[in-house]
Amino acid sequence: MFVALRDIRFAKGRFALMGVVVTLITTLVVFLYGLTGGLGRDASSAVDELPVTDIVFGAPAGAAAEVSFSSSTISAAQAAAWARTPGVGSAEPLGVAMTRAAGATAAGSVSLFGGSADLLPPLLSGSAPRDGQVAVSRSVADTYGVGPGGTLGLGTEKVTVSGITATRSYGHAATVWTTLATWQRISGQRQPTVLAVRRSGADLGAADAARGTRTVARGDALVGIDGYQAEHLSLQMIQVFLFAVSALVTGAFFTVWTVQRKPDVAVLKAIGASSGYLVRDALAQALAVLGGGALLGGAIGAGGGAVAASAVPFAVGPATVAVPVAVMVLLGLAGSALAIARITSVDPLTALGANR
Amino acid sequence: MTVLALDSVRLTYPDGDRRLTALDAVSLDVAAGELLAVAGPSGSGKSSLLAVAATLSRPDSGQVVVAGRDTTRLSDKERTALRREHIGIVFQQSNLLGSLTALEQLLVVEHLRGGPVRAARERAGALLDSVGLDAAKRARRPHQLSGGERQRVNIARALFGRPAVLLVDEPTSALDHERGAQIVDLLARVTAEHGTATVMVTHDRALMARADRLLDMTDGRLAVVPTPAVRS
Ligand SMILES: Nc1ncnc2c1ncn2[C@@H]1O[C@H](COP(=O)(O)OP(=O)(O)OP(=O)(O)O)[C@@H](O)[C@H]1O
Ligand SMILES: [Mg+2]
């Protein structure tokens, strides 16, 4: 990088500008990444972290089952048939509903899950709920000012808090867990919403066909949460556009830069620099600008995200920072490589004589 | 000892649907330590001659032998390596690299060869001294140097790789007469000191007095000038 480094130092302003652009785009992408993760978690963690492999969706008689928590319902016959299906370790009914909660300090929406105790998220304190009791997510305990032994109003009922679980949420509302019976009473629904299935290898397609249900892997069930898909796709689209913009911007920058450098490149070739040497030199230069900008942007994004996490759902982790930084660098390198490839076609002859 | 030899070299350029003959049956031998001047009108093929000798252009036919190797048989990569190792070029415009200091213009040559750049600093400094660049100006970039100073750096860069062949295209065209004469003096001196086979193209007949031999180029053909200049 003999010439590349000195070029950066000499044309500080231009390279700094480019570095700042990369930094800003990376910051934005890291933010979006964290936000996508955070919002996704907020919309789906109660389902996504269920200790099961598959979710069975049903429909009222006559209708076709689709992957949708808001329209799914499971009859007693379906539940019983699923529990007997070979290759299915357990098929537990799970009720999913939204309701209104009123605690000592606040009132608002919560998601209410009703099911057996082995579907319960890890307990942080207290015990699993029995009929008439609920275990609340830690965030519910904090927001509504309730703890084990306290009372929480859910809909028109009053229930006792038996324990506090790790925070889960569904449809951007923190989750409260109870038994299926209490869920039925509070939600006013007779039948559970879905079955939570632990399968051991078997193909469940035939079972689905026989029972008029629709079974998907747990991760694929998330699209059945209202609004989840639209939210996720729009955020991802913005990310993709940002990545594309950054590749184009770096490509454009290095195109202009390479064209400007042509006379220098011709001289270097004339005094014996191989195309390989010059391309490596230029790529190292691009890598320095991209790497510097992207790392700085990653740091700002992660730091900003950590601060913002108290106000907005934001998931900061090594992956949420490393992935966008790496993608930025790789796409930027791809964009600049296309520009830098022009170096190979520069004719050293143009360095000679007065015709330049 | 002949270091640079051209034998029946023919070079043409595309010119519409015909071809323009820039060099026609050009033969030439230059020995180590010899300063050869080539004069001729504009468009006569002087730069083309240097381009062929520098392995920057491939002749249509004929041989170009540099340091014992027929360059017309070499691949582009091998020719690049040959330039790096054996050929120094002094360009008409002092084609220095904008972002490098005077000293670094020389060091980059060492870097291209994969040599230790740090260890080369002293030799680079000494060479800049010997071409008459003030030590205080070594850290300056090209835009902070005068035309004559740039041309001195240009010559030092061409010499830094200890080339066997030194090719110089109108080194004085950007300079006034006095500075031009100084540069030609310098070229005559380094040719003798470094033992290079030097070919210098110039329009300026007054500068040719320093050359060992003078050739005249007309319409792509070389002719010996009847009264050879004698080295002073
Ligand atoms: N790349 C090229 N393509 C086509 N024709 C060229 C090219 N380079 C030079 N020529 C032509 O070849 C002839 C010789 O050009 P050359 O540059 O060698 O002349 P020269 O003696 O160096 O002239 P000057 O003294 O003006 O520098 C000219 O007629 C020129 O127009
Ligand atoms: Mg010329």
How far, in Å, are A65, A171, A224, B63 from residue A69 at the CA level?
11, 11, 5, 83
Q: Chain B within 8 Å of A352 (Cβ-Cβ)?
A: yes
Query: Closest residue (by CA) to atom 5 of ligand 1?
Result: B13
Instruction: Determine the average pLDDT of the residues in A167-194.
Output: 96
Least confident of A127-131, A182-186, A348-352, B83-87: A348-352
- Say yes or no: A236 and A188 in one domain: no
Q: Of A180, A212, A244, at which residue does a domain stop?
A: A212
pLDDT per residue over A253-278, tens digit each?
999 999 999 999 999 999 999 999 99
Question: Dihedral of the CA atoms B104, B107, B112, B118 (nearest 10)?
Answer: -120
Q: Which of B167, B194, B156 is nearest to B88 (CA)?
A: B167
Q: Which of A138, A192, A189 is nearest to A161 (CA)?
A: A138
How far apart (Å, rounded) are the C-alpha atoms in residues A218 and A228? 14
Q: Which residues line ligand 1 (CB under 6 A)?
A: A 353-354; B 13, 20, 22, 40, 42-48
Q: Chain B within 8 Å of A12 (Cβ-Cβ)?
A: no
Could you please state the CATH topology (level 3) that the domain comprising B2-97+164-231 is classified under: Rossmann fold (3.40.50)
- Helix (H), strand (E) at residue B87: strand B87-90
Nearest-CA distance from A290 to chain B in Å? 21
Q: Band the pLDDT of A48: cuts 50, 70, 90.
A: very high
Residue of B nearest to A352 (CA): B91
Q: Chain B within 8 Å of A311 (Cβ-Cβ)?
A: no
Backbone φ, ψ for residue A36 (5° rounding): -60, -45
Query: Closest residue (by CA) to atom 18 of ligand 1?
Result: B45
Tally of domains in chain A? 2
CB atoms within 10 A of CB A49: 13
Backbone φ, ψ for residue A261 (5° rounding): -80, -5
pLDDT per residue over A87-132, tens digit each?
888 999 999 999 999 998 899 999 999 999 999 999 999 999 999 9
- Report the residue from A6, A349, A356 with minimal CB separation from B99: A6
Q: Chain B within 8 Å of A100 (Cβ-Cβ)?
A: no
How far apart (Å, rounded) are the C-alpha atoms in residues A272 and A327? 35
- Report the residue from B80, B99, B169 with minimal CB separation from A7: B99
C-beta separation of A135 from A162 below 8 A: yes
Best of B9, B12, B48, B169 for a ligand 1 pocket test (most atoms within 8 Å of beta carbon): B48
**A343 Cα distance to chain centroid:** 40
DSSP count for chain B of H helices, then E strands? 6, 10
Best of B11, B19, B46, B50 for a ligand 1 pocket test (most atoms within 8 Å of beta carbon): B46
* Strand-pair partners of B213: B36
- Nearest-atom number in ligand 1 for the CA of B44 is 21
Query: Which of the 8 DSSP states describes residue A111?
Result: E
Residue A102 inside a domain? The answer is: yes
Q: Which of A3, A271, A285, A355 to mutate to test the interface with B (most CBs of B within 10 A)?
A: A271
Residue A151 inside a domain? The answer is: yes
Q: Which residues are near ligand 2, the ion (C-beta closer than 5 Å)? A: A 353; B 47
Instruction: Determine the average pLDDT of the residues in A75-88.
Output: 91
A163 pLDDT above the threshold of 70: yes
- Helix (H), strand (E) at residue A231: helix A228-270
pLDDT per residue over B181-202, tens digit each?
888 888 999 999 999 999 999 8
| B218 Cα to the center of ligand 2, angstroms | 13
| B44 Cα to the center of ligand 1, angstroms | 7
Q: Which of A128, A103, A123, A98 is nearest to A113 (CA)?
A: A98
- Amino acid identity at B28: L
Strands A173-178 and A107-114: parallel
| B144 Cα to the center of ligand 1, angstroms | 31
**Predicted pLDDT at B231:** 47
Question: Quick check: helix, strand or coil at residue A216?
Answer: strand
Residue of B nearest to A278 (CA): B112
**A352 with B89: Cβ contact below 8 A:** yes
Q: Which residues of B touch A354 (CB under 8 A)?
A: 47, 92-93, 170, 173
- Say yes or no: A316 and A239 in one domain: yes
- Amino acid identity at B91: F
**A2 with B107: Cβ contact below 8 A:** yes
| Domains of chain B by residue range | 2-97+164-231
Q: Which of B11, B23, B55, B56 to mutate to test the interface with A (most CBs of A within 10 A)?
A: B56
**Predicted pLDDT at A353:** 58
Q: Of A212, A242, A269, at which residue does a domain stop?
A: A212
| A257 Cα to the center of ligand 1, angstroms | 29
How far apart (Å, rounded) are the C-alpha atoms in residues A78 and B75? 77
Question: Quick check: helix, strand or coil at residue A311?
Answer: coil
Residue of A nearest to B85 (CA): A272
Query: How many pairs of residues across A and B have Cβ atoms under 8 Å apart?
Result: 90
Q: Which residues of A touch B157 (CB under 8 A)?
A: 271
- Say yes or no: A11 and A131 in one domain: no
- Say yes or no: A237 and A330 in one domain: yes
**B89 with A349: Cβ contact below 8 A:** no
Range of the domain at A307: 2-43+230-351
> Which pLDDT tens digits describe chain B residue by residue (232 residues)?
899 999 999 999 999 999 999 999 999 999 999 999 999 988 999 999 999 999 999 999 999 999 999 999 999 999 999 999 999 999 877 789 999 999 999 999 999 999 899 999 999 999 999 888 999 999 999 999 998 899 899 999 999 999 999 999 988 877 788 888 888 888 999 999 999 999 999 877 777 888 999 999 999 999 987 654 554 4
Query: Closest residue (by CA) to atom 25 of ligand 1?
Result: B42
- Report the residue from B50, B83, B117 with minimal CB separation from A272: B83
- Say yes or no: A79 and A200 in one domain: yes
How far apart (Å, rounded) are the C-alpha atoms in residues B128 and B134? 8
For the CA of B45, the nearest ligand: 1
Residue A148 inside a domain? The answer is: yes
Q: Of A212, A238, A273, at which residue does a domain stop?
A: A212
B118: Cα within 13 Å, side-chain hemisphere: 0
Query: Closest residue (by CA) to atom 3 of ligand 1?
Result: B13
A57 pLDDT above the threshold of 50: yes
